[in-house]
Amino acid sequence: MTTSLPPRAIELPDYVLDRREAVPALIGDPRDFLFIGGLAGTSRDTASLLNDGPTHFSMAGTMGAAAMMGLGLALAKPDRTIIVLTGDAELMMNIGSLATIAVRDPKNLRIVCVDNGHFGETGYQRSHTGFGVDLEKIAIGSGIRTTTTITHTQEIPVGRRMLRETDGTAFILMRVRPTPPPAVKRLLDPPAQRLRFRQALLAQG
């Protein structure tokens, strides 16, 4: 005999922040970090922060890869703080990466998930988080010890301190409205971008 559970009431989150204001407010001075930008919106977020400078690497066509690229960079450059700026849909494509990151727990890695509850890359269909999936809880369950969710402006200073003061991997979920990311022209040629990023790392020692 099989039984089914009654439907679970899920309280959907608020999405009130404007990413074009909230992301720069969270990051502060971007020169403090090296960046891996996820697909679509977060790629534009990182490019806008740095005027498409050489210390960010934007992803294109590699959905789910940003977090693991950030882990590799954090392990290779332990003297620099690495920020992975990724979206909710992009992270969901490789959610197991959070478990691997938690096991390694590099002290210099920060995962910032800009969650707009939609698939911005494919037409703004509602995503898993828009139906109630909580990525911070998944990060906690994976073993990441320092986490927070930012939904309103007054919570941003807590996240900004986490980026700079955490000794160990930190996960920040920032919920934003499904509005367009910054309009910025990016270098999207993969070999050229790889060479530019590598030269910037070598120049910094």
Q: What is the pLDDT of residue 2?
A: 58
Q: Averaged over 168-196, what is the pLDDT?
A: 91
Please report which confidence band the pLDDT of residue 1 belongs to, taking 50, 70 and 90 as the band edges: low
pLDDT at residue 149 tops 90: yes
* Within-domain flag for 10: no
Q: What is the pLDDT of residue 188?
A: 79
Residue 112: name the closest of 90, 94, 87, 142 by CA: 87
Q: For 61-113, how does the pLDDT look when each residue is reduced to its tens digit (9 = 90+)?
A: 788 899 999 999 999 999 999 999 999 999 999 999 999 999 999 999 999 99
* Within-domain flag for 2: no
d(CA 46, CA 58): 8
* Within-domain flag for 89: yes
Q: What is the pLDDT of residue 136?
A: 97
Q: For 5-26, how does the pLDDT look when each residue is reduced to its tens digit (9 = 90+)?
A: 555 556 677 789 999 999 999 9
CATH code, domain carrying 84 = 3.40.50.970
pLDDT at residue 193 tops 80: yes
Q: What is the pLDDT of residue 88?
A: 96
Q: What is the pLDDT of residue 187?
A: 85
Residue span of the structural domain in which 27 resides? 19-204
Residue 174: name the closest of 184, 159, 154, 157 by CA: 159
Q: Averaged over 115-125, what is the pLDDT?
A: 86
Q: What is the pLDDT of residue 122?
A: 79
| CA distances from residue 156 to 33, 84, 152, 159, 195 in whole angstroms, order as listed | 18, 17, 7, 5, 34
Q: Contact 55/34 with Cβ under 8 angstroms? A: yes
**pLDDT, greater one: 111 or 121:** 111
Total count of domains within the chain: 1
**Range with the largest mean pLDDT of 50-64, 111-125, 149-163:** 149-163
Q: Percent of the chain, pLDDT > 90? A: 72
* Within-domain flag for 14: no
**Alpha-carbon dihedral angle through residues 36, 39, 44, 45, given to the nearest 10 degrees:** -60
* Within-domain flag for 8: no
Least trusted range by pLDDT, from 70-74, 117-121, 158-162, 164-168: 117-121
d(CA 6, CA 203): 59
* Within-domain flag for 3: no
Residue 140 gets the label, from left (phi > 0), alpha (psi -120 to 50) or beta, of alpha
Q: What is the pLDDT of residue 39?
A: 83
For the chain, give the mean pLDDT: 91
* Within-domain flag for 43: yes
* Within-domain flag for 148: yes
Q: What is the pLDDT of residue 9?
A: 57
